[in-house]
Copies of this chain bind each other. A is one copy, B any other.
Amino acid sequence: MLIVGELINSSRKAIKPAVQEKDAKLIQDLALKQIEVGADYVDVNCGTQVFNEVETMQWLVETIQQACDAPLCIDSPSEKALAAGLAAAKGNGKQQMINSITAESERYNNIISLAQEYKPKLVALCMDDAGMPETTDDRIRVIDKLINNLTKDGIKEEQIYLDPLVKPVSTGDEAGLEVMDTLRYIRRSYPGVHTICGLSNISFGLPNRKVLNRVFLIQTMTAGMDGYILDPLDKEMMGAVYASRALLGQDEYCVNYLGAHRKGLYK
């Protein structure tokens, strides 16, 4: 199970000014805080800085690494920003993560050499030049292509975190089930490959989104998802994580559940 703390993202209201004004303290505190409450990786996304994303990514990574040596998830569709982030993070001896590669020809070709050079964990979005898959069969076709190409290009199955791409259930009753079917296919066909997703898309357009997001985490964990990009400061979400792991036999003697309870990390 791998949790990527999503909070250092310049599209968030609280972060955008901190990034623009280079408020190192705020960024560092947020990185430390996420690790402290249970994140394994700290996401770094400054995609809103369209005119200086590369320099901003470099600054963010250097800034975070002055405060801690947590592994980072360098998050951008741009290979230049990913390259800058990976280069800046190189010194800390951890295996970083990049988010993301896809089966789109141009993006794949741009990013695969970075993955070969730095050997990071690699989020692979389930989309190709035809766009987002419409059906489970489409997804499976893209997944087969992605995994075959990645392993042919020297990426180990264990490095790959497939993101099945979650669509809102408000746009189709089957949206959740399609993800679950996809997870079962990946577990069966590629047991070494990991899976990951963000949660908020599932609830787009509906009220009480946090309830839906939390339930979708529990459902997808039940079907075998083992990575999430989420807000680790959301104590109810973390309650779902700790309780799910305990009940799925992933937490011997419920030690982590009990420890998190004592530290007040969830509710």
Instruction: Please count how many residues in chain A sit with their CB below 8 Å of the partner chain's CB atoms.
Output: 37
**A218 interface residue (CB < 8 Å to B):** yes
Q: Nearest chain B CB to A171's CB is how many angstroms away?
A: 10
**A23 interface residue (CB < 8 Å to B):** no
Q: Nearest chain B CB to A174's CB is how many angstroms away?
A: 5
**A254 interface residue (CB < 8 Å to B):** yes
Scan A7-49; emit 1 where CB is below 8 A from any B CB, else 0.
Answer: 0000000000000000000000000000000000000000000
Q: Are B211 and A247 in contact (CB under 8 A)?
A: no
**A68 interface residue (CB < 8 Å to B):** no
- B208, B215, B257: the one contacting A244 at CB < 8 Å is B215
| Count of this chain's copies in the oligomeric assembly | 2
B-side contacts of A254, CB under 8 Å: 169-170, 173, 206
Known: A208-B261, A258-B206. A248 touches B219 (CB 8 A): yes
- B169, B212, B244, B258: the one contacting A219 at CB < 8 Å is B244
Using a CB–CB distance below 8 Å, which chain A residues touch chain B? 169-170, 173-174, 176-177, 180, 202, 206-208, 211-212, 214-216, 218-219, 222-223, 239-240, 243-244, 246-249, 251-254, 257-258, 261, 266-267
Report the separation of the CA atoms of residues A248 and B176 in the bound assembly, to the nearest whole angstrom. 6
Q: Are A211 and B266 in contact (CB under 8 A)?
A: yes
Q: Nearest chain B CB to A252's CB is how many angstroms away?
A: 6
Report the separation of the CA atoms of residues A214 and B214 in the bound assembly, to the nearest whole angstrom. 11
Q: Nearest chain B CB to A263's CB is how many angstroms away?
A: 12
Known: A218-B218, A218-B219, A222-B222. A246 touches B208 (CB 8 A): no
Q: Are B219 and A249 in contact (CB under 8 A)?
A: no
Report the separation of the CA atoms of residues A176 and B96 in the bound assembly, to the nearest whole angstrom. 34
Q: Are B247 and A169 in contact (CB under 8 A)?
A: yes
Closest chain B residue to A208, Cβ basis:
B261
